[in-house]
Amino acid sequence: MSSLPKVDFVTLGESMILFQPMPEGSIAYAPMFSKSVGGAESNVALGMSRLGKKTRWISRLGNDPFAGTIMSTLAGEGVDVTHVIRDDQAPTAVFFKESKGYGDPNVYYYRRNSAASKFKPEDVKTEWFEDARHFHVTGITPALGENTTDLVVEAMKEAKKQGLTVSFDPNLRRKLWSEEVARDTLLSLIPLCDIFMPGLDEAEFLLGSKTEEEYCQAFLDMGAKLVVLKLGTKGSMAKFADTVLYGDPFKVESVVDTVGAGDAFAAGFLSVLLDEENVLSEGVLQTSVPKALTRANTMGALATQFKGDWEGAPTLVEVENIVAGKQNTTR
């Protein structure tokens, strides 16, 4: 029997049903809501799948219709959901998002005691990582439940044991835990990853006030091999060994919704690295990181043009044409 094709990308985390008012405005007086799917890790998996990578998403969901919506949505986009655990005793989480035409949207989570919050380290299975190349986690999952930090630690260690490279996006969610616990937990996970992908505000949250290069060096000193720092409207930068590289921002005229931009950035960056076999070799990083920063900045900016968390994610051909300044054929 021939071996299964390699899975490029595996991720672990909670996905939820997202409700948004129709028409756009305040939740308090909305007569109707649209329903879609959202979650940091599944957003990245969906983005990677559209870019042509074979992806696998691991989670716990309730045994309810919301879970069916999430499973069918991801599977329909080509994401492997065969390792998702279904829980008869806990529900699938939901969240609401309202945009009032100014500033970032307000987000309200209803994920306490959700199925994903019941995750524990004993749930980690070696088959999650079989025939896979890369594992991605965020700082959201450790905040979900009593045992979810230990779950993430065990999963990162198991992935490393099986030879996968590991990326970690802190994806700070202040509503989910105290600042002290968040800081200590996120810092403790950096030594377990190869690629650390914070935003500038998250770096400041973790380490206080420093220069951009000082942030990157500090995270390298903690054990990461590559640090990718998101700089907002200034673009992004990366540091590995003694090399520092910058990526120019992709300019957009206006912002519709910032939610999901960081996940799109992660998908764009990692998709380029995973075009190569020896992802972390210095020679590969020297040639791949500049292209990866450009694609990541482009995808992060494009994500701000759509209300959904991932629905506007481009295909590989579309993003390559945009980066090259070409017009996609539309009719």
pLDDT digits (tens, 9 = 90+) for 261-270: 899 999 999 9
State residue 5's pLDDT score: 53
Domains of the chain: 7-324 (3.40.1190.20)
> Quick check: 38 and 15 in contact, CB under 8 A?
yes
Residue 327 has pLDDT above 70, yes or no: no
The DSSP code sequence of 35-77 is: EEEE-HHHHHHHHHHHTT--EEEE-EEESSHHHHHHHHHHHHT
Q: How confident is the model at residue 259 (pLDDT cuts 50, 70, 90)?
A: confident
Q: Phi and psi (nearest 5°) for 207?
A: -125, -5
Region 209-223: what's the mean pLDDT?
Answer: 97
Cα distances (angstroms) measured from residue 96 to each of 88, 105, 303:
24, 10, 19
Decide if pLDDT at 256 tops 70.
no
The candidate with the shortest Cα–Cα distance to 10, out of 66, 115, 81, is 81
Whole-structure pTM value? 0.93
Neighbours of 44 (CB within 10 A): 32
The residue-averaged pLDDT of 308-331 equals: 77
Take residue 148 and report the two structure tokens written for it. Answer: 């979810």
Q: Which residues are catalytic?
A: 263
What is the pLDDT averaged over residues 207-216? Answer: 97
Percent of the chain with pLDDT over 90: 77
pLDDT value for 257:
67
pLDDT of 306 over the 80 cut: no
Q: What pLDDT does residue 2 have?
A: 43
What is each CA distance from 230 to 71, 78, 128, 140, 162, in whole angstroms? 30, 28, 29, 18, 29
Q: Taking 70 as the threshold, does the pLDDT of residue 331 lie above it?
A: no
Who wins on pLDDT, 24 or 234?
Answer: 234
Q: Which amino acid is at 189?
A: L
The pLDDT of residue 325 is 83
Band (pLDDT 50/70/90 cuts) for residue 313 is confident
Integer angstrom CA distances of residue 309 from 1, 43, 298: 39, 7, 16
pLDDT for 160: 97
Mean pLDDT of the region 225-244: 96
Query: Residue 164 in 3-state DSSP?
Result: coil
Residue 1 pLDDT more than 50? no
Q: What's the CA gap between 23 and 17, in Å, rounded?
A: 18
Q: Once rounded to an integer, what is the mean pLDDT over residues 107-133? A: 95
Per-residue pLDDT at 33 = 94
Q: 253: which 2 tokens? A: 């005229």
**Encoded tokens for 29:** 């007086």
Which of 84-93, 161-170, 198-207, 298-307 comes out lowest in average pLDDT?
298-307
Task: Tell me how far apart the alpha carbons of residues 124 and 147 are, in angstroms, rounded to a whole number.
Answer: 12
- Concatenating the DSSP letter of every residue in 97-120 gives EE--SSSSPEEEEE-TT-TGGG--
pLDDT tens digit sequence for 30-49: 999 999 999 999 999 999 99
Give 53-73 pLDDT, tens digit per residue. Answer: 999 999 999 999 999 999 999
Write down the pLDDT at residue 250.
Answer: 87
Above 70 in pLDDT, residue 102? no
Report which of 77, 81, 82, 8 is spatially closest to residue 36, judged by C-alpha positions.
Answer: 77
Average pLDDT across the chain, whole number: 92
